Structure 1
Amino acid sequence: LPQAPQQFKQLLMVSGFDRYFQIAPCFRDEDLRADRSLEFYQLDVEMSFVTQEDVFAAIEPLMHGVFEEFGEGKPVSPIDGAHVFTNDFGETFEHKGFERLTYAQSMAWYGSDKPDLRNPIKMQVVSDHFRNGGFGLFAKILGADEKNAVWAIPAPTGGSRAFCDRMNSWAQGEGQPGLGYIFWSDDQGAWGGPIAKNLGQEPTEALMSSLGLGKGDAAFFTAGLPSVFAKFAGLARTRVGTELKLIDENQFKFCWIVDFPMFEWSEEEKKVDFSHNPFSMPQGGLEALETQDPLTIRAFQYDIVCNGYELCSGAIRNHKAEIMLKAFEIAGYDASVVEEQFGGMLNAFRYGAPPHGGLAPGIDRIVMLLAGETAIREVIAFPLNQQGEDLLMNAPTEAEERQLKDVHIRTAVPIKV
């Protein structure tokens, strides 16, 4: 993690400093968007002898307090409210604080790992309603691959052909062939649209009832491999909520995203790779790495999300050398490579490291939300553009030959062919 003090703050924990925080300037190594800046500041936090619950208990009052004090009276998610959380393995827990969603739940319900929970729409899997025919296109897609599915995007109050046609045109503008829909037709006093026509009124009624929809409502549908269409489905959910004015913008709604996959399959490299943060502790420790399918292993990783923006990312760290080496081995890295790249961390761990974890809220992005802005450059003095340039100072610019000599750098101009 060259853009953040990750390794150094972990070394502080190993050395005996059991708590650390710093307002740290960082550089982003990702593509720049409206809510991202090349240079940014984060409230970097690390603690020893903590569990995930301890980190949550420490940071929730801070985030709640900042937004309550500077949010101009907008309601903020309470930290004393009780929630019931069910993980991906069917285990249920009660907890207080911000709402929690697993990564898998967030992607399935909202099509994003940073959901805007001010939007009440929750997507559902409705494959069984199409599996045995009725609507031929979806039945064919489901039969082509057992991993394929059909998702529904409920649209309360969206029951008009004009709105459905607008959504279909929007989907085509997003590069999709279209967006299937069912809507309540007042003219016919029945469910309308191509899907309803093919399914028949009774099966359509059963489908829409399962979504909690009735007269005056509509639903949109996407089909295929969820990992491929989930992002688009999430955009469609946001579009529906915005168009139908279902989103209560006068509040700050927080949630934790937890249980990120430790590994993912890289289609490009045709191998298992890390999916989030390679220094995180896998749930189940070394035993999980040695006995489980890597793609089923969850990590002690977590994000705080507010109104659709990720405000910070963090993890309980992997503090044991043997677990770290095994995790990197699964991702295709030889022990010698890990020793060469992260030898300082490994050697420190071998002396005995306390369990530790932390996170780093982005200060600029917090200010952006509090200011009611959607572009982070609006709250940064002398911001850089999306190419990392300061247009006011005309920087960066060409370096002179004498400047390059001072730092022993030689440029190699590409050969034109």
Structure 2
Amino acid sequence: MAESMQGLHRTHRCGELSAANVGETVTIMGWVQKNRNKGGLVFVDVRDRSGIIQVVFEDGSCDADLIARAASLRSEYVVAIVGKVEKRSGAVNENLATGEIEVIPEQMRILSESETPPFPIEENSKTKEDLRLKYRYLDLRRPDLQRNLMMRSKIATLTRQFLADEGFLEIETPILGKTTPEGARDYLVPSRIHPGSFYGLPQSPQLYKQLLMCSGYDRYFQIAKCFRDEDLRADRQPEFTQIDMELSFVDEEDVMSINERLLAKLFKEVLDIDVELPIQRMTWQEAMDRFGSDKPDIRFGMELVNVTETVKDSEFVVFKGAIENGGTVRGINAKGQGSMPRKKIDKLVSFAKDYGAKGLAYIAIQEDGTVKSSFAKFMSEEEMQNLIKAMDGENGDLLLFAADKNKVVWDVLGALRLELARQLELLDKNEYKFLWITEFPLLEWSEEQNRYTAMHHPFTMPMEEDWQYIDTDPGRVRAKAYDITLNGNEIGGGSIRIHQNDIQEKMFEVLGFTKEEAYRQFSFLLDAFKYGVPPHAGLAYGLDRLVMLMAKVDSIRDVMAFPKVKDASCLMTNAPSQADDKQLAELGLELRPEEESSEE
């Protein structure tokens, strides 16, 4: 039967005890991890978020009633134990931080009983994720998840302290705001007081933080909840957290310097890793040409090689057609993989097709120098040798080629490079390679919308030397934008902001907004710009992704307390759920029943 604490006060967490506490009487409280009854000798492992301590109930040191009660304990019972810390009488447990000590109890209270959990509470659980997420409150008792969330808390605390020391003010911005047309889809919240009107949940605090710069707050930050109603993807969450900042009277160097020092502090304090400063930089164009990605993983080589010039006179129709259509031919060299079986190569071809390739050409150079190729019959011996030389091909290498428009070739080879690295186990989670990507294109062409869209957002400053091309060749204009990447992941992105009205209005025009439309959506920002706005810039990190990488886990769900699943639902609470008729009526909403498809 459950008892109350009756005046007991915890003196230590379980994992905080050590040999230094030997001889002390302590009070611990936690969950029963394991109970081993040896008859007259009962070992109980008690767990809390700090770790596990062994409690030993034994004839001679405990009365019979206490031993009997200990024997009745089951997994996940909550107990309070008062006892003396002693050196272990048996072998030391090297795998446990408290492995050289144990607690000899004087009294025990059962604070709460537990039914048998639907799965074991243990590290690296093999239980299916859907079941664990349904009982997330139990899943969160697992020591590995608790370590992740404690790490997340430490990162947030250190970030707050660092930015405060750098003169930043923590200011909260609204969750209920104005819906915006650019970027991802907003979550809409209907207003009861303004029937037919809706708030938009923020995709980021972008506009508010720019207004704070207009208001003279100089340096702002916020650990901000953001929301995006995006299409389904395995590791994407409808709500996520940003470390968000904005600064006035700064340029790119100022923003990068502060953030490099922030990252160095986090990695030193949390992981005891020294981040080498300054962090390497690479332009967007160089990153795409060398790695096929604007967030390249530079822990390994296998870089893209442009062989368009080498094969421009080839009669191989795949290469020839791509070049004639304004595309390129590029390849990667999988060193030492020349003997890869044909079946595995065929799987790589299928993988490439998922990223838009029509196919994948290859040259497999055997250890004896024999060449096997999917297109050898279309190339002369000299052309083949020139191509192998251009790719730095040696005996034992596998050369893979894509030919198409640049974007397709980059997408295909960028993804293929990462897939090969995974297969060849080239990715070391203990290695951290940071990289700044700079000079992004300001705009990108959307086939779907048949217009230019902002690669980052409409408030990004163009590079002054490129602004002359905004009317004649908009795609040529580069932005004062910068992303910070880590091991092939974008962990943060930002830019210098437009602070001149004429440039902002022109930007809206290029994006297809009339002046009236721009003012209807952003009048509060554009009006604020009439009253003296400082040059300003900012950056935001995805906190979930940063913690995921620092914790060396594969999913952001493992560093969030209560994540959603792929379809944006919560298996624990069954959200989203239907609202009742009264709520809908108060909001002036009526649900239209789905029309049944008529049978042919």
Q: Where does the alignment leave 5 or more consecutive residues of structure 2 unmatched?
A: 1-179, 181-201
Q: Which moved more, 1:172-181 or 1:248-257?
A: 172-181
Q: Which moved more, 1:25-34 or 1:119-128?
A: 25-34
Alignment pair present for 1:78 and 2:239: no
Deviation at 1:399, TM superposition (A): 0.5
| 1:269-328 CA distance string (max 9 Å, x none) | 322332321110111189536555111011111111111111111111111111111011
Amino acid at match of 1:28: R
Distance in 1 separating the partners of 2:506 and 2:469: 7
Distance in 2 separating the partners of 1:197 and 1:186: 21
Tell me if the contact between 1:20 and 1:47 (Cα under 8 Å) persists in the aligned partners.
Answer: yes
Change (3 A) 1:159 1:249: farther
Alignment pair present for 1:281 and 2:481: no
Q: 5 Å matches for 1:133-144?
A: 133-143=314-324
Alignment pair present for 1:255 and 2:420: no
Deviation at 1:354, TM superposition (A): 0.5
Q: 5 Å matches for 1:107-186?
A: 107-143=288-324, 145=325, 147-162=326-341, 165-173=343-351, 174-175=353-354, 176-186=357-367
2:392 aligned counterpart, secondary structure? coil
* Bigger Cα Rg: 2
Q: Which moved more, 1:12-21 or 1:134-143?
A: 134-143
Deviation at 1:414, TM superposition (A): 4.2
Alignment pair present for 1:102 and 2:102: no
Q: Which residue of 1 aligns with 2:486?
A: 306
Q: 5 Å matches for 1:1-400?
A: 2-71=202-271, 77-79=275-277, 97-143=278-324, 145=325, 147-162=326-341, 165-173=343-351, 174-175=353-354, 176-187=357-368, 189-284=369-464, 287-288=467-468, 292-400=472-580
1:357 aligned counterpart, secondary structure? strand
Tell me if the contact between 1:18 and 1:47 (Cα under 8 Å) persists in the aligned partners.
Answer: yes
Tell me if the contact between 1:3 and 1:27 (Cα under 8 Å) persists in the aligned partners.
Answer: yes
Q: Which residue of 1 aligns with 2:52?
A: none
| 1:186-226 CA distance string (max 9 Å, x none) | 34x33332334543443333322222331221210001112
1:171 aligned counterpart, secondary structure? helix
Deviation at 1:248, TM superposition (A): 3.9
Q: Which moved more, 1:132-141 or 1:337-346?
A: 132-141
2:541 aligned counterpart, secondary structure? coil
Structure 2-normalised TM-score? 0.62
Distance in 2 separating the partners of 1:168 and 1:209: 24
Q: Where does the alignment leave 5 or more consecutive residues of structure 1 unmatched?
A: 80-96
Tell me if the contact between 1:286 and 1:323 (Cα under 8 Å) persists in the aligned partners.
Answer: no
Tell me if the contact between 2:429 and 2:552 (Cα under 8 Å) persists in the aligned partners.
Answer: no
| 1:130-174 CA distance string (max 9 Å, x none) | 21125343224323x1x1111111111112141x64133232254
1:3 aligned counterpart, secondary structure? coil
Structure 1-normalised TM-score? 0.88
Change (3 A) 1:135 1:273: same
Amino acid at match of 1:221: F
Amino acid at match of 1:172: S
Q: Which moved more, 1:281-290 or 1:256-265?
A: 281-290
Distance in 1 separating the partners of 2:328 and 2:467: 33
Distance in 1 separating the partners of 2:415 and 2:317: 25
Cα RMSD (Å): 2.2
Distance in 2 separating the partners of 1:391 and 1:356: 42
Change (3 A) 1:323 1:252: same
Amino acid at match of 1:133: S
Tell me if the contact between 1:280 and 1:315 (Cα under 8 Å) persists in the aligned partners.
Answer: yes
Distance in 1 separating the partners of 2:409 and 2:367: 31
Tell me if the contact between 1:120 and 1:246 (Cα under 8 Å) persists in the aligned partners.
Answer: no
Amino acid at match of 2:213: M
Distance in 2 separating the partners of 1:285 and 1:130: 35
Amino acid at match of 1:124: V
Tell me if the contact between 2:318 and 2:403 (Cα under 8 Å) persists in the aligned partners.
Answer: no
Amino acid at match of 1:20: Y
Distance in 2 separating the partners of 1:344 and 1:40: 26
Tell me if the contact between 2:224 and 2:244 (Cα under 8 Å) persists in the aligned partners.
Answer: yes
Amino acid at match of 2:482: Y
Amino acid at match of 2:413: A
Tell me if the contact between 1:264 and 1:274 (Cα under 8 Å) persists in the aligned partners.
Answer: yes
State percent identity of aligned pairs: 38
Q: Which moved more, 1:389-398 or 1:289-298?
A: 289-298
| 1:207-266 CA distance string (max 9 Å, x none) | 222223312212100011122332122111112222233334431111112111111222
Amino acid at match of 2:587: V
Distance in 2 separating the partners of 1:20 and 1:105: 32
Tell me if the contact between 1:103 and 1:257 (Cα under 8 Å) persists in the aligned partners.
Answer: yes
Q: Which residue of 1 aligns with 2:46?
A: none
Q: Which residue of 1 aligns with 2:103?
A: none
